[in-house]
Amino acid sequence: MGTLLGFAALMGFGGAIISLLISKPMAKWSTRAQVINDSSDPTHRLDRRHRAGFAQKAGIGMPEVAIYDGEPNAFATGAFKNSALVAVSTGLLHSMNRDEVEAVIGHEVAHVANGDMVTLTLIQGVMNTFVVFLSRVIGYFVDKVILKNDREASASATS
């Protein structure tokens, strides 16, 4: 059982950590987000000043900020506090005024500063570990008890 638990933890946390490490490029790719950090658009520059202020107050590096097409939504992701991504949808930008958008960005920066992505990764790792462990235990039980499969008995019967 100890070996099985070790295997389950390795698989569970390994997958969760890999997911965290690739979350930023995957989020950009899957949403087709456009990073606006160095944009010449005047509204993007205004947002940059506010983002820099939020990041400075939170004690983290300024995250990349991206815009993607979609319904009103926003998210933050990334493995490290000083190189995270905050993304907002065009639906959110069109449905909120500037102060509301700044509040949403501040909220997402707070997720980065609090390390929420790492916390969720640890929770995902624990859940994955239990799923792998319990599925192996249930599989063993079904194989041995319900299906009555016994490799040693079937091996001696064929000899």
Would you state the pLDDT for residue 159?
Answer: 53
**Tokens encoding 50:** 């506010």
Looking up tokens 């205004």 gives 46
- Alpha-helical segments (H) within the chain: 2-21, 23-31, 42-58, 90-95, 98-114, 116-141, 151-158
Does pLDDT of 113 surpass 60? Answer: yes
Name the residue among 57, 118, 54, 123 with its Cα closest to residue 86.
54
Would you state the pLDDT for residue 53?
Answer: 76
Would you state the pLDDT for residue 61?
Answer: 83
| 114 or 143, higher pLDDT | 114
Q: Which of 64, 71, 108, 152 is an active site residue?
A: 108
- Alpha-helical segments (H) within 32-115: 42-58, 90-95, 98-114
Range with the lowest mean pLDDT among 10-19, 38-47, 90-99?
38-47
Give 23's pLDDT tier (boundaries 50, 70, 90): very high
105 within 8 A of 51, measured Cβ to Cβ:
yes
What is the model's pTM? Answer: 0.75
117 within 8 A of 78, measured Cβ to Cβ:
yes
| 154 or 48, higher pLDDT | 48
Instruction: State which amino acid sits at residue 54.
Output: F
**Superfamily of domain 32-114 in the CATH hierarchy:** Metalloproteases ("zincins"), catalytic domain (3.30.2010.10)
Does pLDDT of 112 surpass 90? Answer: yes
pLDDT in tens, 33-74: 988 876 666 655 546 666 677 777 888 888 888 899 999 999
In the residue annotation, 108 being an active-site residue is answered as: yes
Instruction: State which amino acid sits at residue 58.
Output: A
Looking up tokens 């039980």 gives 141
